[in-house]
C-alpha cells in the first residue's frame, strides 16, 4: 500500500513537472513571434520585382514581411497584391502594408502605412502609379469614396480582390495611354 502511494505521488509530480515544462516551451515559442511593423522607405529602397527605386515614383507603395528575412518592398500596390494573392505563395507572411492615400501625397508618398487586410482599395481609377494603372489604397471609407468621385473606379475590400484583378500581365495591353 505504501509503495502504491509513493508511486502515485511520484507520478503526480512527474505530471506536474511535464506540464510546467510544456507551458514554458509554449510561452518561449510564442514570445519569439514578433508582430510585423511597417518600415519606412528610403532613397535606396528598391522594388523586389523590378529593381525600381520606390522614392522616385508616384502612387501608393506596399511591403510584405515574412517570418524569415528582410521584407520585400513594391513600387506599386498592384504588385504587392499580385504577390501576396499568388496561389503558389509559400513563404509565411507575417505582415502586409500599403500606404493610406487619404493621408499621403500621391506624387511623393511617404509613411502612412496601414495593414493591407484592413485597407480599402480603389480599382479602375484614372490615377497612375509607378507602373501605369494602379490600385489606390485607403484607411477610411470616406477618403476612398472621395477619390472615386474625382478619379473613378470601384471600392473593394482586401477579401474581394482576386488574383485576376491584379494580374501583372502588362498594363500597356489594356491602357493605350501608356
- Which cell numbers in the block locate residue 143? 477618403
Q: Checking phi first, is residue 62 left (phi over 0); if not, alpha (psi -120 to 50) or beta?
A: beta
pLDDT tens string 92-108? 999 999 999 999 999 99
pLDDT tens string 7-28? 665 555 544 544 443 334 434 4
Q: Is the pLDDT at 174 greater than 90, yes or no?
A: no
Top pLDDT among 111 and 176 is at 111
H/E run at residue 75: none
Query: Count of alpha carbons within 13 Å of 165, Cβ hemisphere only?
Result: 20
Q: How far is the C-alpha of 41 from the C-alpha of 31, rounded, in Å? A: 27
pLDDT tens string 117-152? 999 999 999 999 998 999 999 999 999 999 999 999
- Which cell numbers in the block locate residue 88? 503558389
Burial class from Cβ neighbours inside 10 Å (0-12, 13-18, 19+) for residue 11 reads exposed
Amino acid at each position: 500500500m505504501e509503495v502504491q502511494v509513493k508511486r502515485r505521488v511520484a507520478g503526480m509530480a512527474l505530471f506536474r513537472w511535464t506540464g510546467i515544462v510544456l507551458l514554458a516551451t509554449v510561452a518561449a515559442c510564442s514570445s519569439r513571434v514578433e508582430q510585423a511593423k511597417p518600415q519606412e522607405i528610403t532613397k535606396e529602397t528598391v522594388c523586389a520585382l523590378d529593381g525600381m527605386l520606390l522614392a522616385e515614383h508616384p502612387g501608393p507603395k506596399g511591403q510584405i514581411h515574412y517570418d524569415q528575412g528582410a521584407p520585400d518592398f513594391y513600387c506599386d500596390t498592384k504588385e504587392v497584391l499580385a504577390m501576396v494573392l499568388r496561389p503558389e505563395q509559400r513563404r509565411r507572411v507575417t505582415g502586409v502594408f500599403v500606404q493610406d492615400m487619404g493621408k499621403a501625397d500621391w506624387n511623393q508618398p511617404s509613411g502612412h502605412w496601414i495593414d493591407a487586410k484592413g485597407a480599402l482599395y480603389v480599382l479602375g481609377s484614372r490615377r497612375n502609379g509607378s507602373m501605369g494603372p494602379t490600385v489606390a489604397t485607403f484607411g477610411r471609407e470616406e477618403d476612398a469614396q472621395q477619390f472615386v468621385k474625382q478619379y473613378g473606379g470601384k471600392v473593394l475590400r482586401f477579401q474581394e480582390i482576386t488574383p485576376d484583378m491584379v494580374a501583372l500581365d502588362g498594363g500597356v495591353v489594356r491602357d493605350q495611354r501608356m
